[in-house]
């Protein structure tokens, strides 16, 4: 079993309608994206009442700057299972506050890979989310080089792409593609 039990896919939630759909699947973990600040606390309280451990992509919260203060507020008041961010200060603050931290990194060329590896080593996140998640050799390189569990996300649209990312060493996949939820969240 991996870091998320036998769950190989983390549903990425963009709306409360998506969250309702996620609740129909026997999964324990998911990710909230693109959420209005006014809904965050209510959504997490509801998720907790349904025994769901949710990550919050803090950079995508409308009405909230993703900085140390916002991270402290979210971690102390909302108490998410985990935080996802591209920002080093957010990752460090979440770790300091005992919340699982996921460093999101965009890999577009070889220099971006090297910069990402440096940031991962410096920030020491619990997980690394690699985007796009459709490049298996990047997943393997980051996983092997940093020793961190890799979550593959972005542009994953088919079962073959999910399987290729998992074979390359990804701990799991994030996707908002509900068709893939039906296949992998059973």
Q: What is the mean pLDDT of the chain?
A: 96
Model confidence, pTM: 0.96
Q: How far apart are CA 31 and CA 33, in angstroms?
A: 6
Cα separation, 32 vs 147, whole angstroms:
26
Phi then psi for residue 57, to 5 deg, are -85, 95
> Domain total for the chain?
1
Closest CA to 82 of 67, 97, 62: 97
Which CATH number fits the domain that encloses residue 79?
Answer: 3.20.20.70
The length of the chain in residues reads 186
Domain containing residue 53: 3-184
Q: Please give the average per-residue pLDDT across 7-15, as a whole number.
A: 96
The pLDDT confidence band at residue 2, using thresholds 50, 70 and 90, is confident
Which pLDDT score, from 0 to 100, does residue 1 have? 59
Would the pLDDT of 25 be above 80? yes
pLDDT band per the 50, 70, 90 thresholds, residue 163:
very high
Q: Average pLDDT for residues 36-49, to the nearest whole number?
A: 96
């Amino acid at each position: 079993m991996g870091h998320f039990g036998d769950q190989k896919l983390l549903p990425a939630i963009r709306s409360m309608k998506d969250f309702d759909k996620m609740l129909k699947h026997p999964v324990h973990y998911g990710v909230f994206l693109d959420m209005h600040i006014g809904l965050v606390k209510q959504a997490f309280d509801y998720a907790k009442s349904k025994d769901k451990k949710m990550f919050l992509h803090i950079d995508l919260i409308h009405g909230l700057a993703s900085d140390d203060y916002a991270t402290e507020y979210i971690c102390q008041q909302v108490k998410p299972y985990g935080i996802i961010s591209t920002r080093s200060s957010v990752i460090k603050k979440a770790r300091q506050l005992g919340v699982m931290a996921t460093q999101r990194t965009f890999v577009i060329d070889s220099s971006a890979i090297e910069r990402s590896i440096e940031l991962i080593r410096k920030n020491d996140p619990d997980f690394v989310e690699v985007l796009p998640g459709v490049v298996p050799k990047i997943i393997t390189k980051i996983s092997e080089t940093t020793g961190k569990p890799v979550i593959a996300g972005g542009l994953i649209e088919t079962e073959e792409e999910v399987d290729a990312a998992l074979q390359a060493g990804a701990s799991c996949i994030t996707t908002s593609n509900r068709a893939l939820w039906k296949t992998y969240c059973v």
